[in-house]
Structure 1
Amino acid sequence: MTQGLDQQHPQEHRDRAILETITQEGRSDYNLVELARLYIRYDNFPGARQIQQDLQAILAQWNLTVEELFTLTRAIHQQGQIYRRTKSGEDIQDWS
């Protein structure tokens, strides 16, 4: 797919700020889960190339493969709720 046909993800601006925070704070359970969530969101998305590159760079910096990231985050999720819940019981993170 050519760059001219790339789409802009509606969450791209907000996700850019999340990636900056992850980069500044470094590896933690919360940041691993956020990285996995963003990886899922942007995997095979036709656009947001810089975010996709940044996700790959963070994985390389943390010496992780995507499979290792997902294994770690599954274990984190099994330990309990990493995200706070609202009064209605909904996750506050937007997975779309």
Structure 2
Amino acid sequence: MTRQSEQRHPQEQKDRAIVERFQAEGKSDYNLAELARLRIRYRNFPGARELQADLDRFLTQWGLTEEELFDISRQLHAERIYNRNRNGEQEDWS
């Protein structure tokens, strides 16, 4: 059986910067929501293995299972974590 070719995700470079921010800033509500979003984006994606490994590492480092992360993320979204951006300004989702 041949191994499926590795693909490059079109958002990988942008997402790498987000993961680097996790390292610099650590665990926060915003970063937990972002980690959950990226876990969903890269689930079953045939590539970006290094980035996926980093997502796994932060999940472990922050002492969470994926299920716990998603529970927290749902609570944060219910509280509208993305209602304001990191500078406290309203985000435009239109």
**Structure 1: unaligned runs, 5 residues or longer:** 91-96
Return the offset for 1:55: 0.3
Return the offset for 1:82: 2.1
Alignment of 1:62-73 (within 5 A): 62-73=62-73
**TM-score with structure 2 setting the length:** 0.85
Following TM superposition, where does structure 1 have runs of at least 4 consecutive aligned residues deviating by more than 4 angstroms? none
**Correspondence for 2:17:** 17
CA distance change for structure 1 residues 67 and 23 in 2, over 3 Å: closer, same or farther?
same
The answer (yes or no) to whether the contact 2:36–2:73 under 8 Å persists in 1 is yes
Distance 1:10 1:83 in 2: 25
The answer to whether 1:45 aligns with 2:45 is: yes
The alignment of Structure 1 onto Structure 2 pairs a total of residues equal to 87
Distance 1:41 1:9 in 2: 10
**Correspondence for 1:79:** 79
**Structure 2: unaligned runs, 5 residues or longer:** 85-90
The answer (yes or no) to whether the contact 2:30–2:81 under 8 Å persists in 1 is no
The answer (yes or no) to whether the contact 2:8–2:47 under 8 Å persists in 1 is yes
Distance 2:50 2:40 in 1: 15
Q: Provide the identity percentage.
A: 53
**TM-score with structure 1 setting the length:** 0.83
**Correspondence for 1:27:** 27
RMSD between aligned residues: 1.5
Return the offset for 1:21: 0.3
